[in-house]
Amino acid sequence: MNYKDALKFYPDFPIEGVNFVDVIPFLQDKDLLRGVARDLGVLCSSPNVAAPEARGFLFATPMMALCPNIANIIPIRKKGKLPFAGDDLVKVEIVKEYGSDEVFFRQSDVAAGQLNGDTFEVTFFDDILATGGTAKGLAEAFERQKIVVAGKEYKVKITDFVFLVEITDLPGRELLEPIAPVKALIKVQEH
C-alpha cells in the first residue's frame, strides 16, 4: 500500500500558512496501523525509543509491541503529565513550527532501557518532521544527560531520527543531520 494515500491535509491549520498533515487515518485502520508500526520499527536503530506526546506515543507503542528490536519507550510529555521523584524530571524548551513549548522526560525512563557499552543509545521518533525544532531540542537535551545506574554514570546518544512523515520543503532534515541520520517512511511537500 502507498501510505501517502492515507494522509489528510488541512490548509491554514492551526494557523494561516501551515498545511497540517493529519496522520489519524493510520489509527483508524488496524491493518494499516500494523503495517506502519512494523515499517517504522525496522527504521529504528536503537532499542530505546524516545517519543513525544501525543501522536509519537500513538505510534511508538505498537512499534514496540510488533518489533523485537525495540525494548523501551521513553515518553516525552507536557508540563504536569509525568509523575516524578527528586531530580528525575528533565525540562526541555523547544521551538516548533508555530510556537515554543516546554516538554519533559524522566532520566529513570532512559535508565530502564538497554545499554550498549557505556551508552544508552536512543532513537528519537515522532509523527511529523517539519522545521525540526522539537527533535533538535530534545536530542540535545538527551545527549547532555548522565544517567546513573547502580552508582555508575552512563551517557546518552541519539543514533537516529525516525518520522512517519517528513515535509521535505521545510528545513527539518538539514537541522537534524549534523546530530544523527534522519529517516522518514513518507515524504510530502507543504506547498
pLDDT of residue 17: 82
H helix runs in 67-189, sequence order: 107-111, 133-144, 172-176
Q: Are the C-beta atoms of residues 29 and 7 closer than 8 Å to each other? A: no
Structural domain spans, the chain: 30-186
Confidence check: pLDDT of 175 > 90: yes
Q: What mean pLDDT, rounded, does the chain reach?
A: 93
| pLDDT, tens digit, 9 for 90 and up, residues 66-86 | 999 999 999 999 999 988 988
Please give the single-letter amino acid code of residue 157.
K
The number of residues in the chain equals 191
* 113 burial type by CB count under 10 A (0-12 exposed, 13-18 middle, 19+ buried): buried
Confidence check: pLDDT of 98 > 70: no
Q: Which residues contact 105 (CB under 8 A, 6 or more apart)?
A: 50, 74, 75, 76, 77, 82, 89, 90, 92, 138, 141, 142
| Band of pLDDT at residue 120, cut at 50, 70 and 90 | very high
Please give the single-letter amino acid code of residue 14.
P
| Band of pLDDT at residue 1, cut at 50, 70 and 90 | low
C-alpha cell at position 170: 521545510
Cα(15)–Cα(20) distance, integer angstroms? 9
Confidence check: pLDDT of 97 > 80: no
State the residue for C-alpha cell 541520520. Answer: 181
Q: Which residues contact 28 (CB under 8 A, 6 or more apart)?
A: none
Decide: pTM greater than 0.85. yes
CA atoms within 13 A on the CB side of 101: 17
Residue 129 or 13, more confident: 129
pLDDT of residue 14: 84
C-alpha cell at position 154: 552512563
pLDDT of residue 18: 82
pLDDT of residue 180: 98
Q: Is the peptide bond before 14 cis (omega within 30 degrees of 0)?
A: yes
Confidence check: pLDDT of 47 > 70: yes
Decide yes or no: CATH 3.40.50.2020 for domain 30-186: yes
Confidence check: pLDDT of 2 > 90: no
Per-residue CA distances from 32 to 2, 24, 91, 141, 162 (Å): 10, 11, 34, 33, 18
Q: Are the C-beta atoms of residues 170 and 127 closer than 8 Å to each other? A: no
